Structure 1
Amino acid sequence: MKQKRIAKADLPTKTCAVCQRPFTWRKKWSKVWDEVLYCSDACRGNRKAKSGPAAGTEPR
């Protein structure tokens, strides 16, 4: 028996912590969806560059 498919519009979404874009649940994230914060490897790699109290400024 085949399982019912969930419409893409009904999948959960989150907002990326770096780029602030919405991204949708993926099957590979099914077990760790609560821990997923970034939409891509690129955003995960840039997380330190854009975070912090004074992002974009260098310490003197």
Structure 2
Amino acid sequence: MRRKGDLPQKTCAACARPFAWRRKWARDWDSVRYCSERCRRGAKSPGAKG
């Protein structure tokens, strides 16, 4: 079992906040770019702010 602080982290492409690995992203961690569904949706609309 890993501690929460030992998990890999990335920076969200929309809001620039750091987010940690989650089990549901295990298979496609390399392609994850956004910390949440809200950031993912907001990045696609042209006038959105993070």
Tell me whether the two structures share a fold, i.e. TM-score over 0.5. Answer: yes
Aligned residue pairs total 48
TM-score (norm 1): 0.73
More helix by share: 2
Aligned to 1:38: 34
Higher RCO structure (Cα 8 Å, ≥6 apart): 2
Whichever residue aligns with residue 29 of structure 1, its letter is: W
Give the greater-gyration-radius structure (CA). Answer: 1
Structure 1 residue 48, shift from structure 2 partner = 2.6
TM-score (norm 2): 0.86
Q: Deviations over 1:2-37 (max 9, x none)?
A: xxx001110000000000000000000001000000
Q: 2:4 aligns with which of 8, 13, 18?
A: 8
Q: Which runs of 5+ in 2 are unaligned?
A: none
Using the aligned pairs only, state the percent identity.
52
Deviating above 2 A after TM superposition, structure 1's stretches of 4 or more consecutive aligned residues are none
CA RMSD of aligned residues (A): 1.7
